[in-house]
Amino acid sequence: MLKSFHLLMETASRYGLAQVFGLPTIRRYRAFVREHVPSKAGRHVLEIGCGIGSARSLLGENYTGIDINPDYIEKARRRFSGNYFVMDAAAMPFKPNTFDDAVSIATAHHLSDEQLASMVRKAVTIAMQFHIIDAILPISPSRFKTALFRMDRGRHIRTFERLCNIVRQNARLETSQAVTGPLHDVCYIRASAIIRLVHNRRGQ
pLDDT tens digits for range 44-91: 999 999 999 999 999 999 999 999 999 999 999 999 999 999 999 989
Q: Which residues pair with 17 in a beta bridge?
A: none
- Reported confidence tier of residue 14, pLDDT bands at 50, 70, 90: low
Q: Which residues pair with 65 in a beta bridge?
A: 47, 84
SS3 9: coil
- Reported confidence tier of residue 201, pLDDT bands at 50, 70, 90: low
Alpha-carbon distance of 161 to 47, in angstroms, equals 23
% of the chain residues with pLDDT over 70: 85
DSSP state of 94: P
Q: Residue 108 pLDDT > 90, yes or no?
A: yes
Q: Which long-range contacts (CB under 8 A, 24 or more apart) does 9-16 make?
A: 9/153, 10/69, 10/71, 11/71, 12/52, 12/69, 12/71, 12/72, 12/74, 12/75, 13/75, 15/51, 15/52, 15/72, 16/52, 16/54, 16/75
- Reported confidence tier of residue 203, pLDDT bands at 50, 70, 90: very low
Q: Residue 21 pLDDT > 80, yes or no?
A: no
Global confidence as pTM: 0.87
pLDDT tens digits for range 131-178: 999 999 999 989 999 999 888 888 999 999 999 999 999 999 999 999
Domains in the chain, CATH or no CATH each: 2-203 (3.40.50.150)
In one-letter notation, the amino acid at residue 71 is D
Q: Which residues pair with 194 in a beta bridge?
A: none
